[in-house]
Structure 1
Amino acid sequence: MRRLAILLCFLLLPAPLLADIREEAVFTIAANGHHVGEMALEFQETDGQYRFDVASWATGIFGFVTRAQYDGWSEGQRTEDGLLQSSLFTSRSERVFKTREVQVRFDVSGMPLEVTITPESERTSHSHPALIPPGRIDSLSYLATLFLPLAGTCPGPADLYDGRRMTRIELMAEPGPEGRLICTGTYRITAGPDHSLRKG
């Protein structure tokens, strides 16, 4: 299967527009009503430069079987339209089968400049920057936009790149309780391998 569709649901509270921002959050990850993991997020912005850190780990029987955990961070700058543009994306994923490290550097247009993947065997046909069109943002930087004050709306659609595949995400805003905003949408792989816990 070359396309993956999932349901994303985030609860967003109104946030003031500040020169400096520091936000932290912890989420429970559920699949089919079952608790399968935890995710911790930290977003920091100073003078238009940001850093976003993400750590997630599997729990329960799923965690016992997969030993899955993820650590990643991205950094970049705020654009003129108030959104984020990544300059560096780094991730490390571990599970019972293997460990993979990825680093991607972007220019100001969202064009990947350099992709480093360890081990080399984890590279794909889409791990060559020259083959990737501009206008990309890494997945963590897009997730970080949920921490920005966006005037009561969700981040717009975006083309993502993680060093191994290209994906497309589209969110829609729905009103939630107590003035909260619910963002639901789709995530689709447009080129590259599926996300899989299988070996290889």
Structure 2
Amino acid sequence: MRFGVGIAALMLALAAPATAQTDEAVFDLVLRGLRAGTLSFEGTEHDGRYSVRGRLQSGGLLGLVRTMRYDARSSGRMVRDRPQSIAYSESADTGRRQSEVILSWERGQPRVERYSPARKPRSYDIDPAAQQGTVDPLTALYAALRDVEPGEECRLSLDIFDGRRRTRVMLGQPKPVEGGVACAGEFRRVAGYSQEDMAEKSRFPFSLVYRPTSEGRMRVVEVATDTIYGRATLRRR
């Protein structure tokens, strides 16, 4: 009887789902040397699926001038350690206007469920049905900033669709730096932008710095880039 109970307990233990992996992070956003806000996310992977919550919140000197907030959620599946979006939602308050975006993906093809406020069609608008293989913005952020195993740093190349625009993020080869690893990357505007926006700036180079955690994984601790507003840095707390 005891033997049977032991076998049953062992079978239940083996059948139990694997422990979920969770990544949490808070970054301070520094713009032109001044603290401008925080970027935070929490992502969970379990049984080939992932879900992420993220927030960008103004703060510091910028928060005294204008309160801005972006909240987003995304979910999808991991296929050979590569994310595939299923659902994305975003709400934003820039201090001047509020907006809401809801997107879904089916077999890699996005669909705009809601994009508010609406606007009149423009000549450079792109067809969501033609954006096969893209992921949502929060999924791309999570893929770039989540902890990875040593040797897996900087392995990222994703096309992103936010409901109106298509962009691309790519990371280059990792290089050793003091205490960790660094890599150069590029964020590129691809489609859905006006000619003026593309002429102003279409490519945004950036860099990532990884350092080992106490568990032996590699973690992004700093992101630096040039934006149309000046030099911006994300520093992990």
TM-score, normalised to structure 1's length?
A: 0.77
- The corresponding residue for 1:43 is 43
- The corresponding residue for 1:137 is 135
Q: In 1, distance between residues paired with 2:66 and 2:77? A: 35
Instruction: State the shift of 1:100 in Å.
Output: 0.8
- The corresponding residue for 1:9 is none
Q: In 2, distance between residues paired with 1:168 and 1:135? A: 12
Instruction: State the shift of 1:66 in Å.
Output: 2.6
Matches within 5 A, 1:118-197: 118-121=116-119, 126=125, 128-130=127-129, 132-145=130-143, 146-147=145-146, 149=148, 151-172=151-172, 173-178=174-179, 180-193=180-193
Q: 1:120 is paired with a residue of what secondary structure?
A: coil
Instruction: Look up the equivalent residue of 1:157 and give its one-letter code.
Output: S
Q: For each residue in 1:24-76, what CA deviation from the matched residue of structure 2 results, as whole angstroms up to 9, or x when unmatched?
A: 11101112222111111101111111101111111123122231111001100
TM-score, normalised to structure 2's length?
A: 0.66
Q: In 1, distance between residues paired with 2:61 and 2:120? A: 27
Q: 2:35 is paired with a residue of what secondary structure?
A: strand
Seen in structure 2, the aligned counterparts of structure 1 residues 190 and 43 have a Cα distance that, compared at 3 Å, is: same
Q: RCO (CA 8 Å, sep 6+): is it higher in 1 or 2?
A: 1
User: Please, which runs of 5 or more residues in structure 2 have no aligned partner?
Assistant: 1-17, 198-226, 230-237
Is the Cα contact below 8 Å between 1:75 and 1:88 reproduced in 2? yes
- The corresponding residue for 1:10 is none
Is the Cα contact below 8 Å between 1:42 and 1:54 reproduced in 2? yes
User: Please, which runs of 5 or more residues in structure 1 have no aligned partner?
Assistant: 1-17
Instruction: Look up the equivalent residue of 1:94 and give its one-letter code.
Output: D
Instruction: State the shift of 1:191 in Å.
Output: 1.5
Is the Cα contact below 8 Å between 1:49 and 1:77 reproduced in 2? yes
Is the Cα contact below 8 Å between 2:126 and 2:191 reproduced in 1? no
Structure 1 segments of 4+ aligned residues over 4 angstroms from their partners: 122-125, 194-197
Seen in structure 2, the aligned counterparts of structure 1 residues 122 and 176 have a Cα distance that, compared at 3 Å, is: farther
Instruction: State the shift of 1:133 in Å.
Output: 2.7
Instruction: Look up the equivalent residue of 1:58 and give its one-letter code.
Output: S
- The corresponding residue for 1:4 is none
- The corresponding residue for 1:94 is 93
Q: For each residue in 1:148-197, what CA deviation from the matched residue of structure 2 results, as whole angstroms up to 9, or x when unmatched?
A: 5353321322211111211111112333433x333431212111245999
Seen in structure 2, the aligned counterparts of structure 1 residues 19 and 174 have a Cα distance that, compared at 3 Å, is: farther
The structure with the largest alpha-carbon Rg is: 2
Instruction: Look up the equivalent residue of 2:175 and give its one-letter code.
Output: E
How many corresponding residue pairs? Answer: 176
Q: 2:154 is paired with a residue of what secondary structure?
A: coil
